[in-house]
Amino acid sequence: MAETLLTALFLPLIAGLMLPRRGARWVALLVALAVLALTAVLVGRYAEGTAGFAASRLDWLGPATGLDVRFDVALDGLSLWLFALTALLMVVAVLVGWETIQDRAALYYRLLMLLETGMLGVFVARDVILFYVFFEFTLIPLFFLIGIWGGPERRRAATKFFLFTFAGSVLTFLGLLAIVLWNYDQPGAGSAVRRLTFSIPELTVALRARPMGLGLQVAVFSALFAGFAIKVPLWPLHTWLPLAHVEAPTAGSVLLAGVLLKVGTYGFARFNVAMLPQATAALMPWLLWLALAGVVYGALVALAQSDIKRLVAYSSVSHLGFCMLGLFAVNRLSVQGSVLQMVNHGLSTGGLFAVVGMLYERFHTREIGDLGGLARRLPRLSFVTMLLVLSSIALPGLNGFAGEFLLLLGVFQRGWGQPMPHDWLQLRTIAVLSMSGVILGAWYMLWMYQRVFFAKNETSGDTRPVRDMSLREMLCLTPIVVMVFWIGLQPRFFLDRMAPTLNELIRPAMEAVEHRAERGGAASAALKNRRDVVVPHDAVSDGRETGKGWQSRSWCNSR
Amino acid sequence: MLIPAMPLAASLLTASLGARFLRGQSHLPVVLAIALSFVASLALVDQVQRSGQGRGADGVTFWRWADVAQEQEPSGSGGPGAADLHVEVALRADGLTAAMLAIVTCISTLVAVYSIGYMRGDPGYWRFFSYIGLFVFSMTMLVSAANFLLLYVFWEAVGLCSYLLIGFWYEKPAAAAAGKKAFLVNRIGDVGFALGIFLIWTTFGAIGFEDVFARVGPEVGDWRVTTICLLLLLGACGKSAQFPLHVWLPDAMEGPTPVSALIHAATMVTAGVYMVARCTPLFAASADAQCVVALVGGVTALLGGVVALTQNDLKRILAYSTISHLGYMFLALGAGTLLGVTAAMFHLMTHAFFKALLFLGAGSVMHAMGGVLDIRRVGGLRRRMPVTHGTFLVGCLAIAGLWPLSGFWSKDAILLAVQQRHELGAARALFGTLFATAMLGVLLIDFYMFRPYFRVFWGAERIPEEAGPHGRESPRVMTGPLVLLAIGAAVVGAYFAWTGSFTRLLMATPSLAGLPRVGAEAGHERIALLGTAVTLVGIALSAAIFLGRPEKAARLARVMNALGLYSLSYGKFFVDPIYKALVVWPTLATAQAAAWLDRWVIDGLVDLFGWMPALLGAALRPVQNGLIQFYAVAMVLGLLAMLGLLLM
């Protein structure tokens, strides 16, 4: 299996470097399909293992040098579906620009191929340095894709996208190095030979055995947060996203929304939640508030948009908010739902961006006001769009529902479950408020659909016959539609393959959260029962004063 | 479990082939499949009835939708807070389900046959029938679902069908807007329902009906059960168009009339009633929730009746009448006794017959009159359309509850249930008031139903010009179902009331077994007589007003207008404008504000941050001016400063 994974990973890279000038798109399509086929094999044979699935490892400097950086790739339950999503959306991305990209086409497809390797690599890397290399590597092809083939403001968009995400990821790198160095400084870490290990699984195990102090954890968490939160994007760091989406070529938007945003959530799951459990637990309410802000705010701003592409872009902010909500509620239901929702969002939003691209090719506008009554003129396209819209607003039976339901169920369990968390009021408020995103989501999506596809548009008077979806376009969206139904009808297939990894990944964080809840509960009870006794200041845990709680407790905690 | 499968298959078949091959024959597979489903449902009813009470529900499990194991390590002292989540796609059948299935498939069959005539020639003919098939599939699945999640899935699925069918003529802006409105208002209810499910899950650790009902007990906090019930009620209010969320139903009349008959009168809107009936064990555990259910029902029944009095669009009158009747069903459910639940289900059935009949009759009028439904513009049709007239009259009498038509029996049962609850003790005043309200509502029914009846079928003949030369009786394929429905509306009530087989069928539902029964039928005759008297008075009065000279009606309207009641009713209590002012505009304004904030403040800050290096550079640029003297001075100054620091 290791060979399959390596082939899938490097085939696009090789192709990207050697793509012929003529017929580049065909070769690119073949490569994308080949990668998809290999991924299907990987998914089919996937088996849970301690060492990761399809692992292969090569020393770079070697342990003997004390600087143990490796080439180390493998799949596990967290990365499997994101890997598969990437392979799937790549086929969509290649097909979606088939005819529109004429200018420097070979370069375009080369960049796409390079991007594919970068994205696949992020999800399979099991070494901190390797992860970071792939993480940054995705930026470069996308920068050029936006900057060369984008819309009128492409330069500004590309620059902003690059600088914004790059600035964040520098801090992330500091955070990653801090983890590595902290582990190195631990007495008894590693074997007889003292070495700097960069291996993600080793670090996870080590940090689980000897957690950092809470203050340090929070600091490292914040550093990692900078890069990942921008990538996600978490409110209020999202402003690069609409601009980049609007200006990017369709394929760029599909991949940006479908895959690259997931790099951020993936990073949060892989590093923050897994390696810094106490910080995650301590910061949980704030992170949830931020995620909630994204959910509601993204939906509201989407409601006010007049450009379809911007609308879909802001819907991403809202949906990713849901993903983060599920992830930071750290329990099994919510995290599985969250990872499923990452895939779902990639499918539905990626699909919607593709549809918007198809509309733009036909009408050269994305203004909702300029469109109207398309259901009659483009029946097939409107049907597919309806399906994607419904998937995006989580209609039961389609994929969006499976993820959203599980993750919200998990968030509710966090608020109402046992032991009663001391900040239950906050958690419950968040849980209930998050449901408003579900209503607003239906509102902006259906309103957009109504205005664009129903209701004749008298003002434009544009009645030229337009081509409905071509075979190429249908093929382009078929994989998405199939997955939309598959995940919707049987999410178990997907959940079963991610569950063991995720459960293990979040176990320390879950325990930390429950530990806090018990402490908080005990403190409150003590407060209630013994009013005359002087209560230690750190035991005062009003639901809203979590912050003070951890600050006062932080430096002497855990260990 | 062929019942849902057949319409689904037919729907998919029609959807895939309809556009090209079937065209005019698209109805064949769907009608056939629904009819077969009806036969299968009858077989199921028979089977359930014979298996009798006490036996567990039969069920089928198709596949497991999701499993999430949650077992905690024993070290965790948290206790059994988190149970495993197992969701199965499973159906099961009991009395309640069988009854609903039979009603749904029966009405669907008749409506589908009727639509063959009604929809003929529409460019979306195949689309219409594939939606209908999809709807029947979802609805049958909804009533057979074995757990809350699956119920929710199909709850939203019927909402989707409703959305698609309301917006069927999507090029009419009003239709597209109405579809969206229906979906969104339903979404609000659905969110309540979803919250209810989440709470059920966190409280009971299960989402299968039987598991949950088995775990309802005094050890679960009272307020928790009440909250759950109220959230579920919110969902039911959305779907069944009950008071705060009723606004979508009248607008939904933009859809084709058979759809209004099937979905927005007979079947889908009763899903809320079904859900509350299904969750009876939960509601039984919370007296407060029951009171709220009854109150919502009572308010809605009155509100719907009052608004229906003054509307001029025949279908909207019927829509408000539907709202009012659904209110009656909730009222009965809120009574909480066994009689109450059976009365609600009974009324659900009779209402399905006579309301489908009335809607299809209205559709027949509309068909003949070229789409005009304004009762001010049509009149005196009883000679031109004898069958429609006759069946419509039966419908009116049945809905008014005249003995021995079906409406009488179910209405009687509801009134009796409320009366019994009043006598039982708890919340006496509330149920006493509600009883009076219900009686008043009965009077209103007569007025609002006979006003359009007399206007449309009696008086001088008025035919709008849209009708053209077609102003005549509808084709056979439309009148046939009308006649069948009229027979149904006439006899089902008496048949089931006398034989009692409907109650027996419902008794085969395990979850209804534990309800309090009030055996005494004391005072029954009194209520029946009172109800009939009110009905007769109402019919006589309305005949006097609306059959007589129009001045009389106008004078009445003036009097009411002077009291301010007329405009209140005509303006539908101004619920729509209020919502618009309180919910829609603020949300949109917030959205605009957020968008502005996003563009100029948040993004502005980011850009500002981005400009910082450039600004810094600009600020420092003069320093590097290339003058050796300046550098030398700077060096000296620097050295001096350092020296100063060292010496200090």
For residue B71, is pLDDT > 60?
no
Nearest to B246 by CA among B164, B157, B327: B327
**pLDDT tens per residue across span A416-436:** 766 666 677 778 888 888 888
Lowest mean pLDDT among A34-38, A237-241, B89-93, B131-135: B89-93
How much is the pLDDT for B294? 86
Contact A239 B602 (CB under 8 A): yes
Contact B602 A514 (CB under 8 A): no
Q: What is the DSSP letter of A538?
A: G
Contact A304 B591 (CB under 8 A): yes
Among candidates A439, A491, A503 on the partner chain, residue whose Cβ is nearest the Cβ of B66: A491
How do strand A196-197 and strand A67-68 relate by DSSP bridges?
A: parallel
Residues from chain B that touch A397, judged by Cβ atoms under 8 A, are 153, 157
User: What is the mean predicted confidence (pLDDT) over B299-315?
Assistant: 82
Residues from chain B that touch A164, judged by Cβ atoms under 8 A, are 606, 610
Contact B67 A416 (CB under 8 A): no
Q: Which residues contact A222 (CB under 8 A, 6 or more apart)?
A: A175
Q: What percent of chain A has pLDDT over 70?
A: 86
Residues from chain B that touch A436, judged by Cβ atoms under 8 A, are 191
Count how many residues are written for chain B. 648
How many Cα neighbours within 13 Å face the side chain of A201?
19
> In which band, very low, low, confident or very high, does the pLDDT at A530 lie, cut at 50, 70 and 90?
very low
Average pLDDT, chain A: 80
Instruction: Name the one residue in this structure whose structure tokens are 């399809």.
Output: A54
Does residue B78 belong to the interface with chain A, where contact is any CB pair within 8 Å?
yes
Q: pLDDT higher for B573 or B119? A: B119
> In which band, very low, low, confident or very high, does the pLDDT at B552 lie, cut at 50, 70 and 90?
low
**pLDDT tens per residue across span A314-373:** 899 899 999 999 888 888 888 888 999 999 999 999 999 999 888 888 888 888 777 777
Which residues 120-159 on chain B approach chain A with CB closer than 8 angstroms? 149, 152-157
Do residues A372 and A424 make contact, with C-beta atoms less than 8 angstroms apart?
A: no
Among candidates A373, A406, A431 on the partner chain, residue whose Cβ is nearest the Cβ of B66: A406
Does residue B176 belong to the interface with chain A, where contact is any CB pair within 8 Å?
yes
Contact A495 B68 (CB under 8 A): yes
Contact A239 B598 (CB under 8 A): yes
Q: What percent of chain B has pLDDT over 90?
A: 0
For residue B469, is pLDDT > 70?
no
How much is the pLDDT for B553? 66
How much is the pLDDT for B511? 67
Which residues 36-75 on chain B approach chain A with CB closer than 8 angstroms? 63-70
For residue B11, is pLDDT > 70?
no
Q: For residue B55, what are the CA distances in angstroms to A17, A124, B338, B523, B527?
A: 70, 54, 19, 34, 36
Write the single-letter amino acid at A281. Answer: A
How much is the pLDDT for A535? 38
How much is the pLDDT for B67? 61
> In which band, very low, low, confident or very high, does the pLDDT at A246 lie, cut at 50, 70 and 90?
confident
Do residues B127 and B18 make contact, with C-beta atoms less than 8 angstroms apart?
A: yes
How much is the pLDDT for A206? 81
For residue B78, is pLDDT > 50?
no
For residue B580, is pLDDT > 60?
yes
Q: What is the ipTM of this complex?
A: 0.78
The C-alpha of B194 sits at a distance from chain A's nearest C-alpha, in angstroms, of 9
Q: pLDDT higher for B229 or B428? A: B229
For residue A124, is pLDDT > 80?
yes
As a whole number of angstroms, the distance between CA A411 and CA A334 comes to: 6
The C-alpha of B171 sits at a distance from chain A's nearest C-alpha, in angstroms, of 5
Closest residue, chain B, to A456 (C-alpha):
B171
Lowest mean pLDDT among A81-90, A214-223, A361-370: A361-370
> In which band, very low, low, confident or very high, does the pLDDT at B74 lie, cut at 50, 70 and 90?
very low
Lowest mean pLDDT among A16-20, A197-201, B341-345, B522-526: B522-526
Which residues 605-644 on chain B approach chain A with CB closer than 8 angstroms? 606, 610
Nearest to B253 by CA among B354, B180, B179: B179
Contact A160 B610 (CB under 8 A): yes
Lowest mean pLDDT among A452-461, B125-134, B186-195: A452-461
How much is the pLDDT for B107? 84
> In which band, very low, low, confident or very high, does the pLDDT at B79 lie, cut at 50, 70 and 90?
very low
Residues from chain B that touch A409, judged by Cβ atoms under 8 A, are 85, 198, 201
Query: Which of the residues B68, B130, B137, B599 would you substitute to probe the A interface, choosing the one with the greatest number of A C-beta atoms within 10 Å?
Result: B68
User: What is the mean predicted confidence (pLDDT) over B159-184?
Assistant: 82
For residue B410, is pLDDT > 70?
yes
Contact B157 A396 (CB under 8 A): yes
How much is the pLDDT for A533? 40
Contact A518 B598 (CB under 8 A): no
Q: What percent of chain A has pLDDT over 90?
A: 3
Lowest mean pLDDT among A122-126, A518-522, B599-603: A518-522
The C-alpha of A87 sits at a distance from chain B's nearest C-alpha, in angstroms, of 25
For residue A532, is pLDDT > 50?
no
Residues from chain A that touch B65, judged by Cβ atoms under 8 A, are 402, 489-492
Q: pLDDT higher for B535 or B320? A: B320
> In which band, very low, low, confident or very high, does the pLDDT at A537 lie, cut at 50, 70 and 90?
very low
Which residues 493-522 on chain B approach chain A with CB closer than 8 angstroms? none
How much is the pLDDT for B204? 78
Residues from chain A that touch B594, judged by Cβ atoms under 8 A, are 297, 300-301, 304
**pLDDT tens per residue across span A128-186:** 888 898 888 888 888 888 888 877 888 888 888 888 888 888 888 888 888 888 877 77
How much is the pLDDT for B87? 73
> In which band, very low, low, confident or very high, does the pLDDT at B76 lie, cut at 50, 70 and 90?
very low
> In which band, very low, low, confident or very high, does the pLDDT at A41 lie, cut at 50, 70 and 90?
confident
Measured at the alpha carbon of residue A108, what is the angle toward residues A259 and A122, in degrees to the nearest 5?
30
Residues from chain A that touch B220, judged by Cβ atoms under 8 A, are none
Write the single-letter amino acid at A114. Answer: L
Query: Which of the residues A315, A412, A448, A468 would you substitute to probe the B interface, choosing the one with the greatest number of B C-beta atoms within 10 Å?
Result: A412
How much is the pLDDT for A534? 40
Nearest to A254 by CA among A39, A470, A416, A94: A94
Do residues B236 and B275 make contact, with C-beta atoms less than 8 angstroms apart?
A: yes
Residues from chain A that touch B171, judged by Cβ atoms under 8 A, are 373, 375-376, 454-456
How much is the pLDDT for B456? 78
For residue A191, is pLDDT > 60?
no
Q: Which residues contact B499 (CB under 8 A, 6 or more apart)?
A: none
**pLDDT tens per residue across span A438-465:** 888 888 888 888 888 876 655 555 566 6
Q: Using CA atoms in the order B285, B291, B297, B302, what is the torsion angle rounded to 10 degrees? A: 170
- Please tell me whether residue A209 adopts helix, strand or coil conformation: helix
User: What is the mean predicted confidence (pLDDT) over B42-51?
Assistant: 69
Residues from chain A that touch B199, judged by Cβ atoms under 8 A, are 412, 416
Q: For residue B49, what are the CA distances in angstroms to B43, B55, B496, B498, B507?
A: 10, 11, 14, 17, 9
For residue A471, is pLDDT > 60?
yes
Average pLDDT, chain B: 76
How much is the pLDDT for A57? 75
Q: Using CA atoms in the order B250, B251, B252, B255, what is the torsion angle rounded to 10 degrees? A: 120
How much is the pLDDT for A7? 81
How much is the pLDDT for B470? 57
